[in-house]
Amino acid sequence: MDVSQQLADYAAANAAEVLERPTPVELDTGLLAAYDTTPVDADEYKAALEPHLLALTLTSTQALLAGLFSLPTKSSEHGPVAQLADPTFVLPREKPLPKPKPLTKWERFANAKGISHVKKDKKVWDDERQEWVARWGRDGKNKDAEDQWLHEVKNNGSDPTIDPRATAKAERKARTEKNAKQHARNLAEAAASPLSTLDRKPTAGTASQGEKANARSIRKAELDRGMLVSKVSTASLGRFDKSIEGEPRVKGIKRKFETNLGDHASEKASAMDVLNRLGTAERKRAPKKGGSGVEGGVNTRKAVRYEERAAQLANRRDGKSGGGRGGRGGKSGRGGRK
Amino acid sequence: MATPATSPPSHTVSTISINPLLLNTVNVSPLPLLALLYSKPKNARVKRALDEREPKLVENEKTCIFVSGNKTSERIRDAMKDMNSMKRPYAINFSKKNDIHPFDDASSLEFFSGKNDASLFVTGLHSKKRPHDLVLTRMFDGRVLDQIELGIDSYRSMAEVDTPKASVGTRPLMVFHSDLFDTHPTFTHLKSYLLDFYNGHHETAIPLASVEHVISVTAGPVEGSLEEGAALPKVHVRVYTIKLLASGSKVPRVQLTEMGPSMDLTIRRVAEADSETMKAAMKRPRISQKDLDSGLGKKRKNIETDDMGDKVGRIHVGKQDLSKLQSRKMKSLKIGRKERKAAEADADADAAGNDSGMDED
Q: How far is A244 from chain B (nearest CA, A)?
A: 19
3-state secondary structure B262-293: EEEEEEEEEECCCHHHHHHHCCCCCCCHHHHH
Of the listed ranges A186-190, A296-300, B136-140, the least confidently predicted one is A296-300
**A213·B34 Cβ contact <8 A:** yes
Please give the CATH topology (third level) of the domain spanning B62-200+210-222+229-273.
Rossmann fold (3.40.50)
For B173, which of A64, A83, A93 is closest by C-beta distance?
Answer: A64
**B13·A255 Cβ contact <8 A:** yes
Is A100 near chain B, with CB under 8 Å? Answer: no
Go through chain B and tell me how many residues it has. Answer: 361
Q: Identify which has the larger pLDDT, B162 or A333.
A: B162
Closest alpha carbon within chain A to B210: A78
> Does A328 have pLDDT greater than 60?
no
DSSP alpha helix (H) spans, A86-163: 105-113, 144-147
Report phi then psi at B327, rounded to 5: -90, -165
User: Best mutation site among B37, B264, B276 for testing chain A: the one with the most A CBs within 10 Å?
Assistant: B37
For B23, which of A14, A98, A228 is closest by C-beta distance?
Answer: A228
> Does A280 have pLDDT greater than 90?
no
What is the Rg, in whole angstroms, of the alpha carbon atoms belonging to chain A? 43
Query: pLDDT value at position B203?
Result: 86
**B209·A79 Cβ contact <8 A:** yes
Query: pLDDT value at position A246?
Result: 77
**A261·B5 Cβ contact <8 A:** yes
For B253, which of A16, A213, A237 is closest by C-beta distance?
Answer: A16
What confidence tens digit (pLDDT) does each residue in A227-247 have? Answer: 888 888 888 888 888 877 877
Is A184 near chain B, with CB under 8 Å? Answer: yes
Q: How far is A225 from chain B (nearest CA, A)?
A: 7
pLDDT band for position B354 (cuts 50, 70, 90): low
**A206·B114 Cβ contact <8 A:** yes
Closest alpha carbon within chain B to A248: B28
> Does B209 have pLDDT greater than 80?
yes
* Domain ranges within chain B, ordered by starting residue: 62-200+210-222+229-273
Q: Stretch A269-289: mean pLDDT, rounded? A: 72
> Does A95 have pLDDT greater than 90?
yes
Cis peptide before B89 (omega within 30 of 0): yes
**Does ipTM top 0.85?**
no
**What type of residue is B313?**
G
User: CA B288 → CA B57, B292, B293, distances in Å?
Assistant: 12, 6, 9
Query: pLDDT value at position A19?
Result: 81
**A252·B15 Cβ contact <8 A:** yes
Is A227 near chain B, with CB under 8 Å? Answer: no
Is A229 near chain B, with CB under 8 Å? Answer: yes
